[in-house]
Amino acid sequence: MELKGKVCLVTGASSGIGEATAEGLGALGASVVAVMRDKSPKAESAMRKIEAGSRDGGGSVSAMYADLSSQSSIRRLAQDFEKRFDRLDVLINNAGVSPWKRHTTTDGLELTFAVNVLAPFLLANLLLGRLKASAPSRIVNVSSAAAGGTIEFDDLQGEKKYSMFAAYGKSKLALNVLTVELARRLQGTGVTANFLHPGVVRTNLARDMNPVAQALTSLVKPFMASPKKGSRTSIYVATAPELEGVSGKYFSGGKEATAPKGSYDGAAAKRLWEVCEQLTEKPASGE
Ligand SMILES: NC(=O)c1ccc[n+]([C@@H]2O[C@H](COP(=O)([O-])OP(=O)(O)OC[C@H]3O[C@@H](n4cnc5c(N)ncnc54)[C@H](OP(=O)(O)O)[C@@H]3O)[C@@H](O)[C@H]2O)c1
């Protein structure tokens, strides 16, 4: 894909895979919108790296700030984006969390579900107008090979039982299922939606783990992939010309792969889509 003049929005650009993805897209000449939680020193340092990459490749970068655990903040982000940009060619929902303990958001929802599932759902729906008007365009959802378990409709918020590993795996399974449903709804619009596993990557994702799990993680960190390597599948799915029109697929290791079990459960997808609409009070779109 020729990236000059293309607008690519990446969430979670302040760190890890998102930062490397934004930097990589800028280096390919894109106009990158780097979405970060706030203007922290960490975010500013990431911006400097992304800007340097963009300068080298003839791209540009603009920072936008939003707390993706807050639906009003996501709505503000979408409104501000639409005021500033008249097109959106690639939306990469990359931000994610894996909190060790259960937390609730300002909207009263469990944090993992809010950030990993509802934020990509809401942001994609709010920006669909721009994506459709810029078609062919792409939605890329960063999931995980750890997606698994079952979508427990009677305890989506982990109120009855919470463990980090289960909450994270289920949130990524929910993201997969919603991506497939979104791809189905977007058939014929020129907007595609795919999901991926970035690899096992050395990032800040495990920062909320308890000290024992953190110590174990630090032992294996040297064997993990760099964020730059971890960004390759995202950049491939976002830009590869041969993926034009390919939708509802799962990618890992830079190629199409067999999706985690349950990702193509159509009944769960329809039910979860409705629940997400209710939880975000967002009317159906794409159909
Ligand atoms: N690392 C791996 O091995 C691995 C494997 C499979 C999948 N993944 C997925 O890859 C994606 C990127 O994660 P990473 O590994 O690069 O971890 P990371 O370094 O922790 O990056 C996560 C990003 O998400 C942002 N974020 C989290 N909560 C947010 C919120 N409420 N509002 C705004 N931004 C928020 C973080 O911002 P702050 O810096 O402000 O917290 C950060 O920029 C995630 O979806 C993760 O699930 C990672």
Q: What are the domain boundaries of the chain?
A: 7-280
Specify the DSSP element, H or E, that contains 274: helix 266-280
Fold of 7-280: Rossmann fold (3.40.50)
Q: Ligand 1 pocket test: which of 9, 11, 17 has the largest number of ligand atoms within 8 Å of its C-beta?
A: 17
Q: Cβ contacts of residue 167 below 8 Å, gap of 6+?
A: 98, 99, 102, 110, 112, 113, 158
Q: Cβ contacts of residue 117 below 8 Å, gap of 6+?
A: 171, 174, 175, 178, 276
Q: 204 CB less than 6 Å from ligand 1?
A: yes
pLDDT score at 170: 98
Known catalytic residues are 168
pLDDT score at 211: 83
pLDDT score at 282: 54
pLDDT score at 286: 42
CB-CB contact of 130 with 85 (8 Å): yes
pTM for the model stands at 0.96
Q: Ligand 1 pocket test: which of 49, 201, 224, 226 has the largest number of ligand atoms within 8 Å of its C-beta?
A: 201
pLDDT score at 281: 87
pLDDT score at 109: 98
Residues of the chain with pLDDT under 70: 282-287
pLDDT score at 287: 40
Q: Retrieve residue 254's tokens.
A: 């830079």
